[in-house]
Amino acid sequence: MPHPTRRETPLAPYRRLLAVPGARAFTVGNLLARLPAGMFGVSAIVMIAGTRGSYALAGAVTATGLAATALVAPWIARLVDRHGQARIAVPATLVAALGSLALVLCVRYDAPDWTLFAAYAATATTPNTGGMSRARWSHLLDGDPAALHTANSFEQAADELCFMLGPVLAAFLCGTLFPESGTLVGAALLVTGILVFAAQRATEPPPHPRPKAGSSPLRAPGVPPLLAVCLALGAVFGATEVVTIAFADEHGRRTAAGAVLALQAAGSCGAGLVYGAMRPSGSAARRHPRCVAAMTALLTLPLLAAAGAGSLPLLAGALLAAGTATAPTMVTTMALVQERTPEGRLNEGMTLAVTGLLGGIACGSATGGWMVEHVSPAAGFAVPVVASAIALLVSGNSRAPH
């Protein structure tokens, strides 16, 4: 008589994932390297706005750095695909860390404003740690789409965890120690994490020194519309960060801004883990517009909370709810990028998606900063809603031709 099938727990797919030989070691290093991604923006905004007295300047500096990253990151990713992760990521990270140190010195010694832009732009060589981790999973789980779905969801949850803890840590360091401490700690974590990650050579995907001619991800069917979606989604994230910090500052709670932003990331992190344990029906291309539509609808909640009651706790709850749509949207977007990127160019393809996000974050940061300065922080929450609506319009046309 056959035994009854034992029901699988929600965490079982993740246990199997981390049981892959070498997975835990490279994940630890990658998480250390990714945590500063949630620290640098908040640290720079608090540091510059606190010393120079201008959120517009702080937003413009961070926007410039992100725009520089959008230009440099695909080039770094192409080198990673051709020569290997360890060989390229380590020196690129060291250059970025020097840029962070230069920014701290410029702020500390009251250098002219233009030096802040130059120093922050020098951090553009930071490698796409999330993309390198996803490339390792794609290499290790080749031929297992269910496990790869779990891995992509796990990576998105890891992103959100870093953006949940990063702002809190940055705001705590800048508020309790000295304004430059968040940037310094972030640079130290970035270098340490990349060194640990790069040391795990057994799980590193093989380089492709001679990719096929005409195999650029930018020319792959269906990829350009996805990059446009990423650009709009990035504007959501960039505007939300700047506007939330300004809204908290307006209510005399600047140090609480990191915790408020962390709640949005917590909502996304939880949703990402649940989504990864599921086996969603239908293709990623069909699910994508529905995910973006849900994100657009939920982003109206922070706008209503800020413009209506004007309560920081109510805004925090609204951001938590809005965050639940982020992970499914990003997981589905990255799955489509992986499907459509030519062989041997995976890290470059995913970095182009992240580049789109960074470019959008730059635009969102600048636009959100302008709205804060010229209208009000509450009105600034309209920027993420409009950006997400644009992403929804584009996502319906992002299917690759058959």
| Angle of CA points 84, 148, 392, to nearest 5° | 100
Res. 66: pLDDT tops 80: no
Are 118 and 103 a contacting pair, CB within 8 Å?
Answer: no
CA distance 70 to 305: 32
Please state, rounded to an integer, the average pLDDT across all residues of the chain. 84
In this predicted model, what pLDDT tens digit does every residue of 74-105 receive, in sequence order? 888 888 888 888 899 999 999 999 999 999 99
CA distance 238 to 66: 10
Angle between the 55-83 and 37-52 helix axes, to the nearest 10 degrees? 150
Question: How confident is the model over 267-288, as a mean pLDDT?
Answer: 79
Structure tokens, 77: 């990713």
Question: How confident is the model over 342-359, as a mean pLDDT?
Answer: 79
What is the SS3 assignment for 369?
A: helix
CA distance 126 to 97: 8
What is the SS3 assignment for 278?
A: coil
Question: How confident is the model over 248-266, as a mean pLDDT?
Answer: 77
**DSSP secondary structure letter of residue 22:** T
In this predicted model, what pLDDT tens digit does every residue of 377-395 receive, in sequence order? 888 999 999 999 999 999 8
CA distance 72 to 183: 21
Question: How confident is the model over 49-53, as a mean pLDDT?
Answer: 80
Residue 255: what pLDDT? 67
Are 227 and 391 a contacting pair, CB within 8 Å?
Answer: no
- What percent of the chain is predicted at pLDDT more than 90? 22
Residue 13: what pLDDT? 79
Cβ-based neighbours of 316, under 8 Å, separated by 6 or more = 259, 260, 263
Higher-pLDDT residue of 258 and 197 is 197
CA distance 107 to 102: 9
Residue 190: what pLDDT? 95
CA distance 360 to 143: 33
Res. 71: pLDDT tops 90: no
For the chain, domains (ranges, CATH) are: 23-207+217-395 (1.20.1250.20)
**DSSP secondary structure letter of residue 54:** -
Res. 300: pLDDT tops 90: yes
What is the value of pTM for the model shown?
Answer: 0.74
CA distance 152 to 332: 9
Q: Report residue 45 CA to chain centroid gap.
A: 17
Nearest by Cα to 366 from 197, 211, 203, 239:
239
Res. 160: pLDDT tops 80: no
DSSP line for 284-342: HHHHHHHHHHHHHHHTHHHHHHHHTT--HHHHHHHHHHHHTTHHHHHHHHHHHHHHHSP
Residue 229 pLDDT level (bands cut at 50, 70, 90): very high
Res. 206: pLDDT tops 60: yes
Are 179 and 50 a contacting pair, CB within 8 Å?
Answer: yes
Question: How confident is the model over 156-181, as a mean pLDDT?
Answer: 82
Res. 281: pLDDT tops 80: no
- What percent of the chain is predicted at pLDDT more than 70? 93
